[in-house]
A = this chain, B = another copy of it.
Amino acid sequence: MRILFHEELTFISDQLVAMSRLSGRALERATTALLEADLALAEQVISEDEQIDAIRRDLESRAIDVLARQQPVATDLRQLVTALRMSSDLERAGDLARHVAKLARMRYPEVAVPEHMREVFTRMSPLAQEMIVRAGEIVAAQDADGAVELQLRDDAMDRYHREVFRLVLEADPQVETQVAIDTTLLSRYLERFADHAVSVAIRVVFLVTGTWHDELVPSTGAGPVHRAEP
């Protein structure tokens, strides 16, 4: 019985890794679609998001099935419940990649990101992609130390987020208001994407140590990070 249960957990862990890769790839393509005004690629990201959602639904059904058949003990239950929360984070990361693709589609054939802001997005998005893929690896390896390291990388995301606001506010000549709106939302999507990566990874600390490290728990959204913030 317990061997079966652990096979199930391994399967679920593999699916979480798959979700992390799919959402990382979705963000990569969405960013290319955004910066190159590639409509076909944007459409592809939007339609393929359903794959990630389907894995999440399947994981939930399997988890309920395992719970009903195998009467797992408390530690195993915590693993299952935590895996479900991770899958919600990863599904949501996929949704955010889709939002980037939708914005690319909405502005087509124009490019939503002005020339002087391309660089920050070409750094911010790959970092977010790396973070989600790394979160998947951390889940697979139950690597609590890796989770703590990953959280530190989120500081770089917050710096990019502030940098976007700085570039919008200090542009000379002033950016169009539409550009300010679009880049504010894009930066917010990327920042939240990385938050979900941290959230997935930090849940591994919980599983491995059995306690929450409150100081490590992400605030699930840094919220407004503006130039005016200290």
A contacts, CB < 8 Å to B: 57, 60, 63-65, 67-68, 71-74, 77-78, 81, 84-85, 88, 91-92, 95-96, 98-99, 102-103, 106-107, 165, 168-169, 174-175, 177-178, 180-182, 184-185, 188, 212, 219-221, 223-224, 226, 228-229
Contact = CB atoms under 8 A, between A and B. Distances in A.
Given A64-B81, A68-B77, 14 more contacts: A64-B74, A64-B77, A67-B72, A71-B71, A99-B221, A99-B223, A165-B181, A168-B177, A168-B181, A169-B181, A178-B228, A180-B181, A182-B224, A185-B224
Chain A binding surface SS class: helix
Contacts of A74: 64-65, 68
How many copies make up the complex? 2
B67 A224 contact: no
A102 to B, nearest CB: 5
A224 B106 contact: yes
A212 B91 CA distance: 17
A224 B188 contact: no
Contacts of A92: 220
A182 B223 CA distance: 11
Contacts of A168: 177, 181
A184 to B, nearest CB: 5
Contacts of A212: 57
A228 B107 contact: yes
